[in-house]
Amino acid sequence: MKWNQLLTRESQTKEGNMQRHFSGVSIRQIDDATRQVELSFSSEEPYERWFGPEILSHEPGAVDLTRINEIGCLLYNHNRDKVIGRIDEAWLDGNRAKALVTFDDDESDKIYKKVKSGTLKGVSVGYQVDSWEEVQAGKVSSNNKFIGPCSIALRWYPYEISIVSIPADPSVGVGRSRKKEEEKQHYNNVHCN
């Protein structure tokens, strides 16, 4: 049975896709003239699912950014009817994925102002996993970075980025201060138990 078939409704959308929330941010780059914001939308920080810790690998070849770069949208709270902008570019930067997004002028204005003021800081990503590595308790992952128990998404692709009001992962979001990123380096050899 595939892992995405085992997920509960709380962690999976109707289509079988997954979402992951990120927070703990400070605005890194915002261009008020163009309404562009740079943000991080995924990391390798473990995220607790009902089946145990989940890790999104950012190793070379693990993340396929094709779809998000070609047709991905910026949403509000994963609501497909609340498109608030476009994704101009998504890229990998070490063990995290980042994007340059542009907020639309119309309905997104309230959300843009809240991001700009720092009221809304959370970011979430909608993604699909194609391949998993299940690491048993006390065992080491194939890349020697993680100790189980944990499930590692070895091949996955993001398809939307959302600005969210209630995030889960404190390591990424709308900007990040360099000091906070350096403090999170201990996750390079994280124990997932």
> Is the dihedral angle over the CA atoms 103, 98, 51, 154 positive or is it negative?
positive
Strands (E) in the chain, as ranges, are 18-22, 29-31, 36-43, 47-49, 52-56, 73-76, 79-92, 96-103, 122-135, 150-164
* pLDDT tens by residue, the chain, 193 residues: 333 333 332 344 434 577 765 544 334 678 888 999 999 999 999 998 888 999 999 999 999 999 999 999 999 999 999 999 999 999 999 999 999 999 998 889 999 999 998 888 889 899 999 999 999 999 999 999 999 999 999 999 999 999 998 765 666 666 544 344 443 433 333 334 3
The angle at the Cα of 133, spanning 68 to 188, to the nearest 5 degrees, equals: 75
Residue 186, domain member (yes or no): no
Whether 188 is covered by a domain: the verdict is no
Tell me the pTM: 0.77
> Looking at the domain assignment, is residue 44 inside a domain?
yes
Range of the domain at 74: 17-181
| Residue 8 located in a structural domain | no
Q: Which residue has the tokens 């100790």?
A: 147
CA angle 55, 17, 27 (to 5 degrees): 60
Three-state DSSP state, 1: coil
Beta-carbon neighbour count of residue 16 at 10 Å? 12
Quick one: pLDDT at residue 189? 35
- Report which DSSP code applies to 106: S
Q: What is the pLDDT of residue 178?
A: 39
- Domain for residue 189, yes or no? no
| b/e 160-169 (16+ beta carbons within 10 angstroms → b) | bbbbbeebeb
According to the model, what pLDDT value does residue 8 have? 30
Cα separations (Å) of 131 from 11, 43, 122? 17, 17, 27
Residue 12 maps to a domain: no
Residue 9 lies in a domain: no
Residue 77 maps to a domain: yes
pLDDT on residue 176: 46
Please count the structural domains in the chain. Answer: 1
Task: Please answer whether residues 5 and 12 qualify as being in contact, where contact means their C-beta atoms are separated by less than 8 angstroms.
Answer: no
